[in-house]
Amino acid sequence: MGCCGCFGFAFAKKPNMLAKSEARLRNHGTPEFLVDEELEDEDDCSQNVDISDTRHGVNDELRSPTKRTEEILMYRTQRGLICREFPVKETHKLIRSEDENGNKMINEYVRESKIGSGSYGKVVLYRSTINGMRYAIKAFHKSHLSRLRVAPSETAMTDVLREVLIMKILEHPNIVNLIEVIDDPTTDQFYMVLEYVEGKWICEGSGPPGGLGEIKAQKYLRDIVFGLMYLHAHNIVHGDIKPDNLLVTAAGVVKIGDFSVSQAFEDDNDELRRSPGTPVFTAPECCLGLTYHGKAADTWAVGITLYCMVFGKYPFLGDSLQDTYDKIVNSPLSLPNHMNPLLKNLLEGLLCKDPRDRMTLGDVAEHAWVIGEEGPLPQYLCWCKRKRLQKEGSNGE
């Protein structure tokens, strides 16, 4: 996430941002300086920074899994191989207006406030005039994303379209739901209408050194594992599991979001190259420049996330990007002797540096600390499984 000492994107035009980015990484979890924070027009999603290729590799060979992902996703979509009872709404007409109070409107949606910045665009809270519900809308400029190179032959628009393709085939209570895509070919705007998660990311406000405490960390981890097991069962690797991408609803339910670097694979062939995720959450095998297995890398990131939830800090953090990678690969995991032995065992299993010996998500789901007093994780009968069972039933099988 290159050559950036800021653990995130490199800003050739704004070198003074490097120190701020390092400070944010240490204090809050992940650097996501994707959009100029000072822009006043929330619907203007252009970025006034020069972003280097730090999340996506540096050549076509490293980007080849993306092309394969798009082929797999298009195949599934065209043949109706999706796990959604109701498809994502696709709207090809954009009407920008104002309501009687002068608030900006996009089609049926009335703007309320800015939520934050996502990958390549801003996220704004809107309210539907039809059903009164609130939605988080990601807004992009197609022309800008099409000019923003993430590899010699690919642009940021490729990432956005891939994220849309992935979210179109998924639906789970622990995954942020995509409701509608607004893409008018006559305009430069592109919108993703997402369910609004009325909460914060899981570690926001906790800060070091306190953490969230075991009870809350256990509850959140169960939701994370439940959602991620669903993704892996549908041959999707998230690629960037971290607190910033884990949102908590008002009811305390964790939902996984941001699929901008996710990949799809066929069968059990989850071999990938060059991790595109956030460095401090990167698995050791991804730091070595070799191929790695995406599901095992996701599981490592779950372990780092759990460590952050419990201790309010990172287990492996250096003074530079290379130093951080060196610690991830070579430094032993340090855990307090007085901590809960079950939790210690779980963290050691998740943060095992050899992916062949690392715990799987199935192992995590059955671990005594995860089960706790809540009992085993529930069985989830997703839509595509329900359809298959119905079909088998109608055939008398």
CB 198 within 8 A of CB 205: no
Distance of alpha carbon 251 from alpha carbon 274, whole angstroms: 37
pLDDT of residue 62: 43
Residue 271, pLDDT above cutoff 70: yes
CB 168 within 8 A of CB 87: yes
Query: Region 181-195: what's the mean pLDDT?
Result: 96
Q: Which of 38-47, 133-142, 251-260 has the lowest mean pLDDT?
A: 38-47
Distance of alpha carbon 333 from alpha carbon 314, whole angstroms: 11
CB 139 within 8 A of CB 124: yes
* Interval 94-124: pLDDT, tens: 999 999 999 999 999 999 999 887 667 789 9
Average pLDDT, the chain: 81
Residue 29, pLDDT above cutoff 70: no
* Interval 30-72: pLDDT, tens: 333 222 333 234 343 332 222 223 343 333 444 456 668 888 8
pLDDT of residue 63: 45
Q: Which domains does the chain have, with CATH numbers?
A: 17-195 (3.30.200.20), 214-371 (1.10.510.10)
Task: Enumerate the β-bridge partners of residue 195.
Answer: 135
pLDDT of residue 108: 97
Q: What is the CA radius of gyration of the chain?
A: 21
Active-site residue among 43, 159, 183, 240?
240
> What amino acid occupies position 161?
L
Is 240 among the residues known to form the active site? yes
Q: At a CB cut-off of 8 Å and minimum separation 6, what does 178 contact?
A: 88, 164, 167, 168, 192, 193, 194
Comparing C-alpha atoms, which of 74, 56, 65 is closest to residue 152?
56
Distance of alpha carbon 320 from alpha carbon 51, whole angstroms: 19
Residue 74, pLDDT above cutoff 50: yes
pLDDT of residue 119: 63
For 273, the token pair is 């190259």
pLDDT of residue 206: 45
pLDDT of residue 245: 92
Residue 207, pLDDT above cutoff 80: no
Q: Which of 138-142, 205-209, 219-223 has the lowest mean pLDDT?
A: 205-209
Is residue 292 helix, strand or coil?
strand
Query: Region 207-232: what's the mean pLDDT?
Result: 87
- What distance lies between CA 202 and its chain's CA centroid? 13
pLDDT of residue 277: 80
* Its pTM surpasses 0.85: no
For 69, the token pair is 């992902």
